[in-house]
Amino acid sequence: MNDKNKIIFGLIIFIAIVTFPFLYNLGRASTVPEPKLSEKAKAAKECIKPKEDMKQEHMQILDLWRDTVVRDANRVYKTSKGKTFNMSLSTGEDSCTGCHENKAEFCDKCHNYALVDPYCWDCHIAPEEKKPEEKK
Amino acid sequence: MENSRRSFLKVAGITALGLGTKPVLDVFAASGGHGAEPKPEVSKNEKALTAKRWGMVIDTRKFHSKADLEPMIEACHKIHNVPKLTEPRHEIMWLWEDEYKHVFTHIEHELINDRIKHLPFLVLCNHCEKPSCVRVCPTKATFQRDDGIVLMDFHRCIGCRFCMAACPYGSRSFNFRDPRPFIKEQNKEFPTRMKGVVEKCNFCAERLAVGKMPACVEASNGAMTAGDLEDPGSEVRELLRTNYTIRRKPDLGAGPSVYYIV
Amino acid sequence: MLELALKGDKKYWGLVIALLTLSGVGFAVYLKQLDFGLGITGMSRDVSWGFYIAQFTFLVGVAAGGVMVVLPKYLHDYKAFGRITILGEFLAISAVTMCLLFIIVDLGQPMRILNVLLYPSPGSVLFWDMIVLNVYLLLNIVIGWNVLEAERNNVHYVSWVKPLIIISIIWAPAIHTVTAYLYCGLPGRGFWLTAILAPRFLASAFASGPALLILLCLIIRRFTKFDPGREQIQSLAKIVTYAIIINVFFFLCEVFVVFYSRIPSHMSHLQYLFVGLHGHGALVPWMWTAMAFMVTSIVLLVIPAARKHEGVLAFACAILFIGAWIDKGMGMISGGFVPNPLHHVTEYMPTLPEILITLGVWATGFLILTILFKVAVGVKEEVSGVKDTCESC
């Protein structure tokens, strides 16, 4: 029973550590952001897969694509509806960012919210952010 | 009592089994239901240039000075976002030039003729037939394609630099720091690299894929030729048949695919 | 048993804090390296492996050297070594830990290290090196802990440990052989392209590992109540003697082959290391120091009267360890890269941040060693009935 103080002290530290993430984010709860489509993407209407699939699977698709492109040299993707795309994140008109040219609104918004930091842009060159007035 | 427990377990077990197989059944249902719609496919570009084994012939007779080599080096480095680092230790080179005695270490001698002695030679990855860099890579980040091109998968490289120790041609460079600040004009059509990965000449795989010859070949005014080493009718084979050519360190048995007409 | 490491005198805690500080400094500099890249080291396009990989290579040797107390005990039933096998095993644990840390600090993209497991490449020696090192670490942890615990409880260790011990005895040379294969199978690197490399690595390992163990035994005797024993130290000294002689002999074999054949691509590296090449000779004084240290230690060790004098023995072991470290830790790796495959000379010297990170890893290793030895010595003191009488406890 001599260790009562030590135990209580230890417990306090334990509770503080365990609850830290909750306390840290207290009052910071924000609404889930909705990625904004670029004009080009809106006009195109469809991506390589339905929106919901893309929401859930885009990271797996990108992971698969990079192997397919770099290692198997297959660079053309034909969707089930017969439309073709350039299997590239950042190069060319029919690549991912060729259409989704608003990285900040489309990619970063959710990634920031979810605290994920994909290293895509360490190598792939992000599309230049167009200011609204530049768009027709 | 005993009986009811047994039957309970049976029912519970079957239920669990049913629940467990639901996702599997879902998949079957999904694939059956949409059978009419074709599956997405991946393929090569129709225009892509292909070969059984890519190789290159460099006609050094057409070069006379460093200035003659600049356009090729410039084209390569610009297209591939190769940075120009100020610190020599951190230099990154895909295509560069060096003297005969450094390039052809196994056959150099002091009394070689003047033209060769002072002629700059182009140096690049040899895209070896039996590449030692591929053999040593612990993650298959560097690999050999079916068409002979030795490539780097920058996504996968862990930066152990075993390939740099293994390459007998000094063809590989390492990103000792973030290369981006040292790229003057970024080419948006090709990614840069990040710190901590190894890089080298990729035989312009990205250009071959869309039907273009390697950038250096294109910029060389016919002094460099790329083609299929296994196709007897190819231009490179024709050059090899009609000219005396040498390769770098052939005694090591790596089978370099870059040939030099001297 | 770990609680034994929590009770110690001021000197013990002083050492622990000093090592913690050093490894903390190393870690801070490592964070800087993570941020900037390996450009903060002295490595270059031409010398693409440097201090880190050299330390790794040397320490694999120290780890393998630990087997030199285990092997005589279990294969030849040399009972005297029973007293100190645990020290050999614990030394191996700390040395292998340092090896793994050196590999990690040397990677350009350490976050991707699991790619080695995700895309296993049996064609790569590095893949096998990763396996043998981790298994050796695990073997020594399991064996060391079980045997020591059994000793503490005054019982025989559980029977399944014995086969593990036999495996670990075979495994020790394997780790250093595989490490040598990292280098000696590379075409175009004349310095390493020699079949003597693995045997030479082993000889230098079996000299430097036990030499360090002798020094550690002498330190333990001075600062604790546990005496590893005079006979044990002398037996180790004989092992060190033969191993260092064989190491130098292997080196001379290499020198003969290289300089009698006069093949430039093999000769130029040794020339660079010992006389300088094209006016570059940063490692020349170091290499001659290494040779002088190793030869002097041989002279001291072969003379029985000198070897039996523990002061002389300690001195011989110290210079041998330093000599072997320079030879392997400085010359062996950068020597292989200079001149480069295009016969250009780019010299290499570690930078200050690189040295600080290296020191940090060494400190971490020695911290582990200190704690493990504290536990081992604590058990030995308990068993022999010596009560710790220090006031601070």
User: Of residues B31 and C16, which shows the higher confidence score?
Assistant: C16
- Asked if residue B163 belongs to a domain, the reply is yes
Closest CA to C244 of C294, C197, C285: C294
Q: What is the mean pLDDT of residues B97-103?
A: 95
Residue B9's pLDDT is what?
Answer: 66
Whether B12 has a pLDDT exceeding 90, the answer reads no
Whether C187 has a pLDDT exceeding 70, the answer reads yes
Residue C388's pLDDT is what?
Answer: 47
A70 contacts chain B (CB < 8 A) = yes
pLDDT digits (tens, 9 = 90+) for B20-62: 555 555 544 454 444 456 788 888 888 899 999 999 999 999 9
Whether residue B179 is found in the same domain as residue B216? yes
User: Of residues B14 and C80, which shows the higher confidence score?
Assistant: C80
Percent of chain C at pLDDT > 90 equals: 88
Q: CB C108 to CB B173 under 8 A?
A: no
Confidence bin at A21 (pLDDT 50/70/90): confident
Percent of chain B at pLDDT > 70 equals: 86
Whether B159 has a pLDDT exceeding 60, the answer reads yes
Question: Which residues in chain B have their CB less than 8 angstroms from residue A123's CB?
Answer: 154, 191-194
- Asked if residue B46 belongs to a domain, the reply is no
Count of domains observed in chain C: 1
For residue B129, count other CB atoms closer than 10 A to its CB.
16
Whether B1 has a pLDDT exceeding 90, the answer reads no
C277 SS3 class: strand
Q: CB B194 to CB A87 under 8 A?
A: no
Whether B85 has a pLDDT exceeding 60, the answer reads yes
Percent of chain B at pLDDT > 90 equals: 81
Q: What is the mean pLDDT of residues C215-230?
A: 92
For residue B241, count other CB atoms closer than 10 A to its CB.
9
Q: What is the mean pLDDT of residues C377-393?
A: 66
B177 contacts chain C (CB < 8 A) = yes
> Residue C204: what are its φ and ψ, rounded to 5°?
-70, -30
pLDDT digits (tens, 9 = 90+) for A64-81: 999 999 998 888 898 888
Residue B36's pLDDT is what?
Answer: 55
Residue B198's pLDDT is what?
Answer: 97
The Cα C41–Cα C354 span in angstroms is: 5
The Cα B97–Cα A17 span in angstroms is: 59
- Asked if residue B76 belongs to a domain, the reply is yes
Residue A35's pLDDT is what?
Answer: 84
Q: What is the mean pLDDT of residues C362-391?
A: 83
Q: Which residue of A has its CA nearest to B155?
A: A66
Cβ atoms of C233 and C218 closer than 8 Å: yes
Cβ atoms of C167 and C157 closer than 8 Å: no
- With both helix axes pointing from N to C terminus, report the angle between C161-184 and C51-65 in degrees, rounded to the nearest 10: 150
- Asked if residue B155 belongs to a domain, the reply is yes
| Contacts for C206 with CB less than 8 Å, ≥ 6 apart | C64, C65, C68, C239, C240, C243
Cβ atoms of B187 and B81 closer than 8 Å: yes
Q: Which amino acid is at C190?
A: G
Q: Which residue of B has its CA nearest to A48?
A: B40
Q: What is the mean pLDDT of residues B9-21?
A: 64
Instruction: State which residues form the domain around B60.
Output: 54-261
Residue B31's pLDDT is what?
Answer: 47
pLDDT digits (tens, 9 = 90+) for C44-75: 999 999 999 999 999 999 999 989 999 999 99
Cβ atoms of B55 and B148 closer than 8 Å: yes
Q: What does DSSP say about strands B54-59 and B258-261: parallel, antiparallel, or unpaired? A: parallel
Instruction: Report domain extents, chain A.
Output: 31-134
Instruction: State which residues form the domain around C112.
Output: 2-380
Q: CB A77 to CB B155 under 8 A?
A: no
Q: What is the mean pLDDT of residues B123-138?
A: 96
Confidence bin at A136 (pLDDT 50/70/90): very low
- C388, two tokens: 């710790």
Residue B8's pLDDT is what?
Answer: 66
Print burial letters for C305-344: b (CB count within 10 Å at least 16), e (below 16): eebeebeebbebbbbbbbbbbbbbbbbbbbbbbbbbbbbe
- With both helix axes pointing from N to C terminus, report the angle between C85-106 and C67-75 in degrees, rounded to the nearest 10: 140
Q: What is the mean pLDDT of residues C322-342?
A: 93
> What would the 3-class secondary structure string for chain B be?
CHHHHHHHHHHHHHHHHHHHHHHHHHHHHHHHHCCCCCCCEEECCCCCCCCCCEEEEEEHHHCCCHHHHHHHHHHHHHHCCCCCCCCHHHCCCCEEEEEHHHHCCCCCCCCCCHHHHHCEEEEECCCCCCCHHHHHCCCCCEEECCCCCEEECCCCCCCCCHHHHHCCCCCCEECCCCCHHHCCCCCCCCCCCCCCCEECCCCCHHHHCCCCCCHHHHHCCCCEEEEECCCCCCHHHHHHHHCCEECCCHHHCCCCCEEEEC
- Asked if residue B204 belongs to a domain, the reply is yes
Count of domains observed in chain B: 2
The Cα B158–Cα C112 span in angstroms is: 6
A86 SS3 class: strand
The Cα C244–Cα C247 span in angstroms is: 5
Closest CA to C93 of C131, C132, C135, C63: C63
Whether residue B155 is found in the same domain as residue B232? yes
Q: What is the mean pLDDT of residues C251-267?
A: 95
Q: CB C38 to CB B197 under 8 A?
A: no
Whether A133 has a pLDDT exceeding 60, the answer reads no
Question: Which residues in chain B have their CB less than 8 angstroms from residue A126's CB?
Answer: none
Q: What is the mean pLDDT of residues A108-115?
A: 88
Within 13 A of A7's CA, how many CA atoms are on the CB side? 4
Residue B23's pLDDT is what?
Answer: 52
Whether B73 has a pLDDT exceeding 90, the answer reads yes
- Measured between alpha carbons, how far apart are the two ends of chain C, in Å? 17
Closest CA to C331 of C295, C285, C297, C293: C285
Q: Which of A127-136, B220-229, C90-99, C227-236 has the lowest mean pLDDT?
A: A127-136
pLDDT digits (tens, 9 = 90+) for C277-329: 999 999 999 999 999 999 999 999 999 999 999 999 999 999 999 999 999 98
pLDDT digits (tens, 9 = 90+) for C198-208: 999 999 999 99
Residue A113's pLDDT is what?
Answer: 87
Say which CATH number the domain at C140 has. Answer: 1.20.1630.10
Q: What is the mean pLDDT of residues C254-269?
A: 94
Whether B137 has a pLDDT exceeding 60, the answer reads yes
The Cα C127–Cα B137 span in angstroms is: 9
- With both helix axes pointing from N to C terminus, report the angle between C197-223 and C230-261 in degrees, rounded to the nearest 10: 150
Choose among B39, B151, B186: nearest Cβ to A125.
B186
How close, in Å, is residue A98 to chain B by CA atoms?
Answer: 11
- Asked if residue B49 belongs to a domain, the reply is no
Cβ atoms of C215 and C321 closer than 8 Å: yes
Residue C391's pLDDT is what?
Answer: 39
The rounded mean pLDDT for chain A is 85
Say which CATH number the domain at B79 has. Answer: 3.30.70.20
Whether C21 has a pLDDT exceeding 90, the answer reads yes
The ipTM of this complex is 0.90
The Cα B152–Cα B147 span in angstroms is: 15
Closest CA to C99 of C373, C364, C367: C364
